[in-house]
Amino acid sequence: MIAQYNFNIKNMKKIAFVFMKITHGTSSGREGLDTLLATSALTENIGVFFISDGVCQLLAQQNSKKLLARDYISTYKLLSLYDINTCYICKEDLEARGLSTDSTFVLPATIIPANRLRRNLAKYDIILTF
């Protein structure tokens, strides 16, 4: 017997992905991005947040070859194809790392103050941190 499921998109959980780690220091960013893309097949209620060292995940023109690492940063450009359009970068965390709102990012994201970012993050049912 095959089980039948009736999915109601209105009742699906809202899932936030929070990227907190530097780009190529660990595999966390790559694994988070893979999980994000896989999850997009299950729900449209996804938000992506870049805080702390995670603000570096979106910086353009990174050279992963010098570290002998896979260039996964360009994959962020595909998020809109997966209907993932809610992306936030913490303004204070950018500034703390010598970056600004004028920095070049691989993905259009909304740069907002930390207090507003926390309010937006609180609207999600599930928070996954990478």
Domain boundaries defined on the chain: 15-129
Question: Model-level pTM?
Answer: 0.84
Are the C-beta atoms of residues 50 and 10 closer than 8 Å to each other? no
Radius of gyration for the chain, computed over Cα atoms and rounded to the nearest angstrom: 16
Nearest to 120 by CA among 52, 55, 47: 47
pLDDT, one tens digit per residue, over 2-52 is 555 555 555 679 999 999 998 876 788 889 999 999 999 888 899 999 999
Q: H/E/C letters for each residue in the chain?
A: CCCCCCCCHHHCCCEEEEECCCCCCCCHHHHHHHHHHHHCCCCCCEEEEECHHHHHHHECCCCHHHHCCCCCHHHHHHHHHHCCCCEEEEHHHHHHCCCCCCCCECCCCEEECHHHHHHHHCCCCEEEEC
Average pLDDT, the chain: 87
pLDDT range class, residue 79, cuts 50, 70, 90: very high
127 beta partners:
16
Rounded CA-CA distance 8/72 in Å is 33
Decide which of 3.40.1260.10, 3.40.250.10, 2.30.30.100, 3.30.300.130 is the CATH code for 15-129.
3.40.1260.10
Among the ranges given (36-40, 100-104, 115-119, 123-127), the one the predictor scored with the smallest mean pLDDT: 100-104
pLDDT, one tens digit per residue, over 4-15 is 555 555 567 999
